[in-house]
């Protein structure tokens, strides 16, 4: 029997994306490119076990000019948890979202806060995709709730714009580190769903949450 995709090479494995048998080469070449690979595909899981090299990425995409220290991550654990929960909430609301959508949304937000920190101007980077705009809106709403929670618990908001920027940059880097980089990749999406099951709110008082720092 020949591969259901190329119709040339011999089929050797079942592809749940097309419900047919394909050759290893087509599996490797078309995985998360033309194929909507389900998360439980054994060959997709094997591929995800290989760490992605960050060397080929444009340094500007990682905001290398922004320093994010380990101490910052521990001191702002609740902020990072809230932001990550907002992303997982967006994914649950729209199952068509891919890693690339989340990275685009996070990058746009990081650029907005970088402009705010450096110049004091609030300029939102334009996003054409409605799905990505929804992600941005969810994250912005979480930040609003976070500041309101601070106001309630300590009487004023302590969160600085520079801290928001560093938290967003951390998430941008984490997303790049977890995605395969392929157009249809959902590795980062699946990570979010596994780490943050549904719950009423992403905001919690410090005494209600244990340590859950997530590293790229």
Which domain range does residue 177 map to? Answer: 58-208
Residues 22 and 85 in one domain: no
CA angle 138, 144, 145 (to 5 degrees): 90
Q: How many domains does the chain have?
A: 2
The per-residue pLDDT for 65 is 96
Whether 74 and 164 share a structural domain: yes
Q: Which of 112, 116, 95 is nearest to 104 (CA)?
A: 112
Provide the token pair at 22: 């394909």
Residues 3, 12: Cα–Cα separation, whole Å: 8
39 with 75, same domain: the answer is no
pLDDT values of the chain reduced to their tens digit, one per residue, 216 residues: 899 999 999 999 999 999 999 999 999 999 999 999 999 999 999 999 887 777 778 999 999 999 999 999 999 999 999 999 999 999 999 999 999 999 999 999 999 999 999 987 777 777 879 999 999 999 999 999 998 888 887 776 789 999 999 999 999 999 999 999 999 999 999 999 998 776 655 454 444 444 444 444
74 with 11, same domain?
no
Asked if 110 and 156 sit in the same domain, the reply is: yes
214 falls within a domain: no
pLDDT confidence of residue 56: 79
CA-to-CA distance for 61 and 68, rounded, in angstroms? 15
Instruction: Give me the pLDDT at residue 21, please.
Output: 97
| Count of Cβ atoms closer than 10 Å to residue 179 Cβ | 22
Closest CA relative to residue 138, chosen from 110, 98, 105: 105
């Amino acid at each position: 029997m020949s591969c259901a995709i190329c119709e040339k090479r011999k089929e050797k494995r079942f592809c749940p994306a097309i419900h047919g048998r394909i050759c290893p080469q087509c599996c490797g070449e078309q995985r998360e490119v033309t194929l909507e690979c389900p998360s439980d595909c054994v060959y997709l899981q094997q591929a995800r076990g290989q760490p992605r090299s960050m060397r080929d990425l444009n340094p500007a995409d990682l905001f290398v000019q922004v320093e994010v220290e380990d101490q910052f991550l521990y001191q702002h654990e609740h902020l990072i948890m809230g932001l990550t929960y907002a992303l997982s909430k967006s994914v649950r609301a729209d199952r068509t979202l891919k890693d690339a959508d989340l990275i685009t949304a996070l990058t746009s937000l990081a650029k907005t806060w970088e402009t705010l920190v450096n110049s004091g101007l609030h300029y939102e980077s334009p996003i054409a995709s409605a799905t990505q705009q929804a992600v941005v809106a969810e994250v912005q709403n979480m930040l609003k709730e976070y500041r309101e929670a601070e106001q309630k618990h300590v009487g004023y908001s302590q969160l600085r714009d520079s801290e928001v920027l560093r938290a967003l940059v951390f998430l941008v880097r984490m997303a790049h580190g977890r995605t395969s980089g392929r157009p249809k990749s959902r590795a980062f999406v699946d990570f979010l769903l596994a780490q943050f099951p549904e719950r009423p709110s992403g905001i919690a008082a410090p005494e209600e949450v244990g340590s859950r720092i997530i590293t790229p």
